[in-house]
């Protein structure tokens, strides 16, 4: 071994930029030339037992080492590798040639314990930021302090500025990524980093110096152990910033002192799939690159990369029905190469290729160019790990379910449509819903898809993210399979959930096919409903139970057990709604009641309307007897005099839609609500509740029922200036929810009420007279469409007869 503090010619330090294709090629070339008998790689030593899996043909990068604390799996860290990562190339070189390989960074046991002591961490975090990674510029400062701080946080940017570049990415591409002369760049990189480290040290200690010192001390510790084992050619692949610290070895005692007393936790490490999107700097990954898709292309298509890239961009655009010819590709290549020559670059880089794509292939259309950027520059690619990878039983169960149900995880978002009448689709739906209960949002249900109205149809958006493996590890405490873990999670949630959440949990159990847990949740609902006296809780709890009872058969579940609980809830709602509305009404006569147009009262009234609408929709899913009982309750409540204006208007609208309130009676009540004795704000709130919001059909009702519209018109005409200003915001809110055609039609009807041209011979939009003779053929065609089975041709009536 060399003398203390000196360099050792048995050690060859290859300082790299993480996830750089030029660095990856340079590392591979250096290893072929050196033929080392041992390789040390920056990474957690706990993963040494997993390195052989890198030789498995089923291991497809991008992948990552996942380390998590056994006592708290939410505290985790990832060490990602892409095919163009220098560390991955070094690992593959070693395992395919039976060269001993080890990871030498600070153990994950210390890293994760350190993270826990420093501050709370999210469910999944990236490996600690690497100083050589691109970082935001610091605040402006004077003199060498700012330069020293920049050297510590972003040494690549400092070197780029020194070379006259305004873009660190472009400088690194020109100097390293596009090198083809075969000369090793590592001595020059190490020398440059040594100067930058001296500059940084001159400014005093940095915030992460203690951690960086511990990392480098452990790297040297592993290196000394390899030298003691007798290895003669040791290749060390690490971040460029650390290279100077490993070229000379200080005393072992100094390094031991730096490692003494570090916090420690028990951890587990495994391989998990990763994505190119999570390698991008935009994802928040500290050592990320701006264009992982471009870098993957540079590494895998070293022969004429610009031509191949633009050809692939043209193919992508053609798939989107964009007209791109071979001539476009030829001209785009010429433009990219010409821009590189003008800018003095050895090869066209991403900026030149992007400009050529926009200008030629996309003909200046930025939106089309954005498609290419999103699909190719970042390039969502999901890696794969072999079946032999260590995993928890729940992870293996999910992988088996994915294989059995033919649901391949992908990084890109894709939509699938499920038909629950098919056994395969039903099982897929159950799996995705069980994962939702466990916090694994692999699939996001698209509720209310208007294209598929049947209760048997579902649409899901699927996109796999690496953090889901962490969520599965956390879910492992509830069970060894997805089904058992979801059932245990449901029981845990049911123990403390309020009544509305408990009934929603019932619906989720039904979707997930958790029959065993469903019975326990239903029993909990019955117990909780028996003691819950809050009418709002009861009303919020009813809709999920009604949906579960109605659609249980679609999911092949006997929902009869829900019937008794649903009946009990509906009975209590019907009995308690009237007194609750009376208790919520402000004290005093109607003339002195405050308006429900703002403040806490308005919010409470809006919440009551939302709950009433929910129960009304729920009773539509139940039997006729339940529907009739509910409508009787609404009729009784609507007749009360002390109900808030917004709520009262909504009750009358629901009764009118259900044919429980005739036109004449409705006109009378409408007139009472807008009488001069009523406060204008309350009358406006009544109208707002009656016409409802978007989708309630209130606009069409006013268009076709001119008597109601006339009542509104006369009420508004009788208001004074002050009262009109008071109610105008409320009416704007009510009528603003209508579609523009509905508002125009209401305006036309109001114009006629005010003395404008009247009669049925006008169109709603233009007010032009209708030519009966010209309209007759169109009327005849409509009649034929409405009666296609008529034995004889329908005669062409006159327009007046059709009316």
CA distances from 177 to 76, 271, 287, 553 (A): 32, 28, 16, 61
User: What mean pLDDT do residues 318-332 have?
Assistant: 91
Max avg pLDDT among 317-326, 398-407, 503-512, 603-612: 398-407
Phi, psi of 289 (to 5 degrees): -115, 160
Residue 557 has pLDDT above 60, yes or no: yes
Confidence class for position 417, pLDDT limits 50, 70, 90: very high
Confidence class for position 668, pLDDT limits 50, 70, 90: confident
Dist CA 25 CA 295 (whole Å): 12
User: What mean pLDDT do residues 46-58 have?
Assistant: 94
Residue 235 has pLDDT above 60, yes or no: yes
- What is the structure's pLDDT at 560? 67
Beta carbons of 285 and 80 less than 8 angstroms apart: yes
- What is the structure's pLDDT at 420? 87
- What is the structure's pLDDT at 545? 84
- What is the structure's pLDDT at 462? 94
Beta carbons of 436 and 508 less than 8 angstroms apart: yes
Dist CA 803 CA 795 (whole Å): 15
- What is the structure's pLDDT at 240? 87
CA distances from 351 to 196, 248, 334 (A): 28, 39, 14
Strands 101-103, 38-41: parallel, antiparallel or unpaired by DSSP? parallel
Q: Classify 210 as helix, strand or coil.
A: helix
**Which has the minimum average pLDDT: 90-99, 100-109, 574-583, 747-756?**
747-756
Q: Where are the domains of the chain?
A: 11-270, 303-378, 393-496, 603-753, 775-802
Alpha-helical runs (H) found in 442-534:
467-475, 482-494, 499-512, 515-531
**Which has the minimum average pLDDT: 94-103, 368-377, 559-568?**
559-568
CB proximity list for 647: less than 8 A, separation 6 or greater? 581, 596, 605, 608, 609, 612, 689
Residue 799 has pLDDT above 60, yes or no: no
CB atoms within 10 A of CB 448: 8
Dist CA 641 CA 582 (whole Å): 9
Dist CA 428 CA 677 (whole Å): 60
* Interval 142-193: pLDDT, tens: 445 555 555 666 677 777 778 777 667 667 767 766 665 566 788 888 888 8
Confidence class for position 123, pLDDT limits 50, 70, 90: very low
Residues paired with 460 in a beta bridge: 416, 445
Beta carbons of 128 and 107 less than 8 angstroms apart: no
Rounded to 10 deg, the angle between the 563-584 and 624-638 helix axes is: 10
- What is the structure's pLDDT at 604? 85
Dist CA 566 CA 639 (whole Å): 26
Mean pLDDT across the chain: 80
Dist CA 291 CA 268 (whole Å): 31
| Long-range contacts, stretch 396-399, CB < 8 angstroms, 24+ apart | 397/480, 397/481, 397/482, 398/435, 398/472, 398/482
- What is the structure's pLDDT at 786? 76
Alpha-helical runs (H) found in 532-598:
535-551, 563-584
Tokens of 730: 């409320």
List b or e across 113-150, with b for residues whose CB sees 16 or more CB atoms inside 10 angstroms: bbbbeeeeeebbbbbbebbbbbbeeeeeeeeeeebbbb
- What is the structure's pLDDT at 366? 86
User: What mean pLDDT do residues 542-551 have?
Assistant: 81
* Interval 17-26: pLDDT, tens: 888 787 888 8
With pLDDT > 70 as the criterion, what percentage of the chain qualifies? 80
Burial group, residue 38, by CB count within 10 angstroms (0-12, 13-18, 19+): buried
- What is the structure's pLDDT at 52? 94
Dist CA 78 CA 76 (whole Å): 7
Residues paired with 416 in a beta bridge: 460
With pLDDT > 90 as the criterion, what percentage of the chain qualifies? 31
CA atoms lying within 13 Å on the CB side of residue 565: 29
Phi, psi of 16 (to 5 degrees): -125, 165
**Which has the minimum average pLDDT: 283-292, 567-576, 770-779?**
283-292
Give, as one character, the DSSP assignment of residue 768: P
Tokens of 469: 């493996």
* Interval 366-409: pLDDT, tens: 888 888 887 888 777 889 999 899 998 999 999 999 999 999 99
User: What mean pLDDT do residues 70-79 have?
Assistant: 89
User: What mean pLDDT do residues 551-557 have?
Assistant: 62
Q: What is the pTM of this model?
A: 0.70
User: What mean pLDDT do residues 266-273 have?
Assistant: 93
* Interval 255-268: pLDDT, tens: 999 899 899 999 99
**Which has the minimum average pLDDT: 63-67, 206-210, 583-587, 596-600?**
596-600
User: What mean pLDDT do residues 426-449 have?
Assistant: 89
* Interval 458-514: pLDDT, tens: 899 999 988 899 899 989 889 999 999 999 999 999 888 888 888 889 888 888 988
Reduced 3-state DSSP string for 665-704: HHHHHHHHHCCCCCCHHHHHHHHHHHHCCCCCCHHHHHHH
Residue 449 has pLDDT above 90, yes or no: no
Tokens of 93: 């070189």
- What is the structure's pLDDT at 630? 92
Residues paired with 419 in a beta bridge: 457
- What is the structure's pLDDT at 137? 39
Residue 284 has pLDDT above 70, yes or no: no
- What is the structure's pLDDT at 236? 95
**Which has the minimum average pLDDT: 342-356, 400-414, 787-801?**
787-801
Residue 49 has pLDDT above 50, yes or no: yes
Residue 590 has pLDDT above 50, yes or no: no
The residue behind tokens 């006997």 is 558
Confidence class for position 16, pLDDT limits 50, 70, 90: confident
**Which has the minimum average pLDDT: 151-155, 209-213, 254-258, 304-308?**
151-155
Residue 334 has pLDDT above 90, yes or no: yes
Beta carbons of 568 and 529 less than 8 angstroms apart: yes
Dihedral sign, CA of 83, 88, 94, 96?
negative
Strands 63-69, 76-81: parallel, antiparallel or unpaired by DSSP? antiparallel
CA distances from 190 to 35, 79, 330, 610, 654 (A): 21, 23, 41, 67, 78
């Amino acid at each position: 071994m060399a003398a203390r503090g000196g360099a050792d010619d048995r050690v060859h330090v290859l300082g790299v930029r993480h996830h750089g294709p030029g660095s990856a090629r340079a590392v591979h070339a250096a290893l072929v030339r050196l033929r080392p008998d041992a390789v040390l790689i920056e990474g957690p030593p706990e993963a040494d037992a997993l390195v052989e899996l890198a030789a498995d043909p089923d291991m497809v990068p991008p992948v990552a080492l996942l380390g998590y604390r056994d006592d708290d799996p939410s505290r985790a860290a990832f060490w990602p590798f892409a095919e163009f990562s220098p560390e991955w190339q070094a690992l593959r070189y070693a395992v395919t040639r039976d060269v001993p390989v080890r990871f030498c960074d600070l153990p994950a046991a210390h890293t994760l314990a350190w993270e826990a002591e420093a501050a709370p961490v999210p469910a999944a975090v990236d490996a600690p930021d690497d100083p050589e990674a691109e970082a935001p510029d610091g605040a402006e400062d004077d003199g060498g302090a700012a330069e020293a701080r920049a050297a510590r946080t972003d040494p690549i940017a400092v070197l780029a500025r020194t070379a006259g570049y305004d873009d660190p990415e472009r400088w690194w591409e020109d100097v390293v990524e596009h090198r083809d002369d075969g000369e090793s760049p590592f001595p020059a990189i190490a020398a440059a980093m040594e100067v930058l480290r001296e500059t940084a040290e001159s400014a005093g200690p940095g915030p992460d110096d203690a951690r960086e010192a511990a990392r480098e001390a452990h790297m040297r510790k592993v290196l000394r152990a390899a030298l003691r084992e007798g290895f003669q050619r040791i290749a060390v692949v690490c971040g460029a910033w650390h290279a100077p610290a490993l070229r000379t070895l200080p005393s072992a005692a100094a390094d031991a002192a730096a490692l003494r007393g570090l916090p420690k936790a028990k951890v587990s490490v495994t391989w998990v799939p990763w994505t190119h999107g999570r390698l991008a700097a935009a994802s928040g990954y500290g050592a990320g690159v701006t264009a992982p898709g471009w870098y993957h292309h540079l590494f895998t298509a070293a022969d004429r990369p610009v031509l191949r890239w633009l050809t692939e961009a043209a193919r992508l655009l053609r798939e989107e029905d964009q007209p791109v010819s071979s001539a476009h590709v030829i001209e785009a290549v010429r433009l990219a190469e010409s821009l590189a020559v003008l800018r003095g670059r050895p090869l066209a880089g991403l900026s030149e290729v992007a400009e050529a794509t926009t200008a030629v292939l996309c003909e200046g259309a930025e939106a089309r160019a954005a498609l290419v950027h999103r699909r190719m520059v970042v390039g969502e690619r999901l890696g794969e790990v072999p079946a032999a990878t260590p995993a928890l039983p729940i992870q293996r169960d999910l992988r088996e379910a994915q294989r059995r149900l033919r649901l391949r995880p992908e990084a890109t978002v894709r939509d699938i449509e499920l038909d629950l009448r098919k056994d395969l689709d039903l099982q897929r739906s159950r799996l995705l819903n069980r994962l939702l209960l466990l916090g694994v949002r692999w699939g996001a249900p698209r509720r209310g898809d208007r294209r598929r109205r049947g209760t048997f149809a579902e649409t899901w958006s699927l996109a796999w993210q690496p953090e889901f493996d962490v969520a599965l590890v956390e879910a492992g405490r509830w069970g060894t399979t997805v089904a058992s873990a979801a059932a245990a999670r449901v029981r845990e949630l049911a123990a403390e959930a309020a009544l509305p959440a408990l009934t929603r949990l019932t619906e989720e159990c039904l979707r997930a096919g958790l029959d065993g847990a469903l019975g326990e949740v239903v029993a909990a609902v019955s117990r909780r409903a028996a003691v819950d006296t809050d009418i709002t809780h009861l009303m919020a709890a009813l809709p999920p139970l009604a949906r579960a009872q109605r659609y249980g058969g679609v999911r092949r579940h006997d929902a009869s057990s829900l019937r008794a609980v649903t009946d009990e809830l509906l009975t209590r709602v019907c009995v308690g709604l009237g007194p609750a509305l009376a208790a919520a009404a402000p004290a005093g006569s109607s003339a002195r009641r405050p308006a429900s147009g703002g403040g806490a009262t308005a919010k409470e009234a809006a919440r009551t309307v939302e709950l009433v609408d929910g129960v009304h929709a729920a009773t539509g899913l139940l039997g006729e007897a339940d529907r009739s009982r509910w409508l009787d309750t609404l009729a009784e409540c609507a007749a009360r005099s002390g109900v808030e204006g917004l709520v009262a208007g909504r009750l009358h609208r629901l009764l009118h839609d259900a044919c429980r309130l005739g036109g004449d009676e409705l006109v009378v009540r409408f007139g009472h609500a807008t009488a001069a004795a009523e406060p204008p704000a309350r009358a406006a709130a009544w109208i707002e509740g009656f016409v409802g919001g978007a989708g309630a059909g209130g606009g069409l009702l006013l268009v076709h029922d001119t008597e109601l519209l006339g009542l509104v018109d006369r009420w508004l005409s009788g208001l004074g200036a002050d009262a009109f200003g008071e109610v105008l915001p409320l009416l704007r809110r009510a009528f603003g929810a209508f579609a523009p055609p509905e508002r125009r039609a209401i305006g036309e009807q109001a114009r006629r009420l005010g003395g404008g041209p009247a009669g049925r011979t006008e169109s709603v939009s233009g007010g032009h007279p209708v030519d009966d003779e010209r309209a007759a053929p169109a009327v005849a065609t409509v009649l034929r469409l409405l009666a296609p089975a008529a034995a004889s041709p329908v005669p062409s009536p006159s327009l007046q007869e059709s009316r």
